[in-house]
Amino acid sequence: MQRIHPLSCAALLLWPFAARSATTNEALLRANADIAAATPRALADPTHPIFHITGPAQWINDPNGPIFYKGFYHLFYQLHPFSDESGPKFWGHVRSRDLAKWEPLPVALWPSRELGEAEVWSGCCTLNGLGQPMCFYTSVGPAKGPFDHADQWAALGDDDLITWQKSPANPVLTDTLNGKKIYDWRDPFVFKEGKKTFLVTGGHMAREHQAAVNIYEAENPELTKWKHRGVMFQHPDAGAPTVECPNFFKLGDQWVLFVSPYGKVQYFVGDFDAATCRFTPRTRGLLDYGSSFYAPNTMQVPDGRRLVWGWLNGFPGGHGWNGCLSVPRQLSLSRAGELRQTPAPQLSKLRGQAVAWKKIHLENGSQTLPLPKTNTLEIAVELELQTVKNVALKFGGVDVSFNGTELKVLDAVAPLALAPGQRILKLRIFIDRSVLEVFANDTVCVTKIISPLKAEATLELRATDGRATARHVEVWPIKTIW
């Protein structure tokens, strides 16, 4: 039985708006009403994911402002509340105690029409120097034009992070601060180094698209006054159109930059000089080799680990919902500066009863295993490659194969080479109805949108031109996060 979001339907309409009546407007009331009306159909849809974060209904895209505060993990997302197609953006909101079970909350931010806003675009959350929760976002107004004249605004949150008030200092950054025109100027992200607080934005520096990340330094503890420190990073690829959603953070003693350049999300690893505000990358790569992962946002959890969520897109329209977020991924770096991603360990709390097999020998043939009769699954496989040239897994209409140098997931191909002397391929595969996420040896991720598995689906293991051993195969049904 499909579990209904606690704040779906009439519950959304009954949420007490009195605490924010001074700023509540018609758009907010209509947003909650439209979400409530669309929720039953969205949740009844057989392709709707159950263990990936979604809105109760309608369109969502970029994850925004993940933050841990007073015992809760909070995560916001871009939301168009009026249809399951893209349109003017609000901020949706969910929270969790344990990163496994989540609670949907009312709309957190919405366009303040009386202040000239038409949309609230992506951004981040942080604590300012006074310890106040504060989010930064790109404010778009009808008179500004969405691409050339956006401003960066801020809002202050109450202790529950449910109620937000726009800062009286808005806009906290305007393009007049830059000195030189920045196009597609948006997606603020705040980070700290030493006693200094910085903010980076995406965009490009000229009509011919010199994609660059600009950096600003806070001049007061309230984070309402900023100084432009120049271009922190210029994209090295000729013709890179722009960079969106920059995230800049430290893993160990290395700095990592994520950028979304109208294509697959890229990462750069290198050094940051806080005095000059310049980032010098040494290595680079892709976060995900599928076509459905974009605009990630990260947070540091209390024990120091760094997690990332991405927007998963490419779903068909007309279902009353569209878009979800990836499972949370834990980040680390190899000694060579290669980004490593593993599913957050808290996801194991969602597992049902496992089925498992050991030491399945494959030689120029295949073996078929029964899967639990559900299309929300986690599959873990450890393969020892002996003389084999190609190994593959097949479930439903999905093929995942490895030939020694490449991992192929449906039509997506990712480079994957084993270290000299290494013969082990480890796969973690998550299937959530219409969502597929594949993790290979913690270094390659591939996300795809798929047709849901049938109830009688099986897992086929296949070896071509040689021998391999499936040392361990384990499959779990996965429960809902709601």
Q: How many CA atoms are closer than 13 Å to the CA of 121, on its beta-carbon side? A: 21
How far is 125 from 446, CA to CA, in rounded Å?
Answer: 28
Place of tokens 């979001």: 5
User: In whole angstroms, what is the distance from residue 463 CA to residue 363 CA?
Assistant: 6
Residues 314 and 390 occupy one common structural domain: no
- The per-residue b/e assignment along 356-394, b for 16 or more CB within 10 angstroms, e otherwise, is ebeebebeeeeeebebbebbbbbbbbebbbeebebbbbb
If asked whether residues 274 and 421 sit together in one domain, one would say no
Closest CA to 214 of 173, 254, 252, 253: 173
Find out whether 172 and 152 touch, Cβ atoms under 8 Å.
yes
Q: Are residues 129 and 218 in the same domain?
A: yes
284 inside domain:
yes
Regarding whether 453 and 439 lie in a shared domain, the answer is yes
**Hunting for tokens 């969205």 — which residue is that?**
42
Read off the amino acid at residue 154: A
Confidence at residue 293, expressed as pLDDT on a 0 to 100 scale: 98
Domain boundary among 346, 378, 405: 346
Q: What share of the chain is helix, strand, coil (3-state, %, to 5)?
A: 10, 50, 40
Query: Does 1 map to a domain?
Result: no
Predicted confidence (pLDDT) per residue in 261-315, tens digit: 999 999 999 999 999 999 999 999 999 999 999 999 999 999 999 999 999 999 9
Please report the pLDDT score of residue 456 as a whole number.
86
Residue 91 CB coordination number (10 Å) = 23
Q: Whole-angstrom Cα distance, residue 317 to residue 457?
A: 26
Tell me, yes or no, whether 165 lies in a domain.
Answer: yes
Residue 242, number of CB atoms within 10 A of its CB: 23
Picking from 307, 330, 346, the residue at the C-terminal end of a domain is 346
- The answer as to whether 444 is a domain residue is yes
Q: What is the pTM of this model?
A: 0.94
Concatenate the DSSP letters of all residues of 312-340 into one string.
E----SSSSEE-EEPPPEEEEE-TTS-EE
CA dist 75 and 99 (Å) reads: 10
Same domain? For 146 and 294 the reply is yes
Q: Are residues 302 and 373 in the same domain?
A: no
Strands 278-286 and 266-273: antiparallel
Alpha carbon distance 88, 78 (integer Å): 9
Low-confidence ranges of the chain (pLDDT < 70): 1-25, 143-149, 207-208
pLDDT (0 to 100) of residue 208 = 65
**CA 73 to CA 63: how far, in whole Å?**
13
Q: Tell me whether residue 163 is in a domain.
A: yes
User: What is the CATH classification number for the domain harbouring 415?
Assistant: 2.60.120.560
**DSSP-based three-state secondary structure for 473:** strand
Res 29: pLDDT: 87
Adjacent-strand bridge partners of 226: 218
In the sheet that holds 183-193, the strands lie side by side as 183-193, 196-204, 212-218, 226-234
**Judgement on whether residues 258 and 372 belong to the same structural domain of the protein:** no
Q: Could you tell me if 344 and 460 are in contact, meaning their C-beta atoms sit under 8 angstroms apart?
A: no
Write the CB contacts of 460 (distance below 8 Å, at least 6 apart in sequence). Answer: 366, 367, 368, 369, 392, 393, 394, 395
- The pLDDT value given to residue 179: 86
Beta strands per DSSP E along 102-182: 102-109, 119-127, 133-140, 151-157, 164-166
List Cβ neighbours of 1 (8 Å cut-off, separation of 6 or more): none
Do 331 and 357 lie in one domain? The reply is no
Closest CA to 95 of 123, 128, 40, 53: 53
Half-sphere exposure of 478 (CA within 13 A, CB side): 26
Q: Which of 314, 346, 378 is where one domain is finished? A: 346
Q: Judge contact between 382 and 426, C-beta under 8 A.
A: yes
Into how many domains does the chain fold? 2
Looking up residue 101, the CATH number of its domain turns out to be 2.115.10.20
277, 134: one domain = yes
Tell me if 482 is assigned to some domain. Answer: no
Residues 327 and 421 both lie in one domain: no
**Pairing state of beta strands 376-385 and 58-69?**
unpaired
Domain that holds residue 431: 351-477
Say if residue 188 is preceded by a cis peptide, omega within 30 of 0: no
Q: Per residue in 415-434, pLDDT tens?
A: 999 988 899 999 999 999 99
Sign of CA dihedral 72, 75, 81, 83: negative
Say yes or no: 356 and 428 in one domain. Answer: yes
Q: Is residue 299 part of a domain?
A: yes
Q: Are residues 333 and 425 in the same domain?
A: no
Residue 4 within any structural domain of the chain:
no
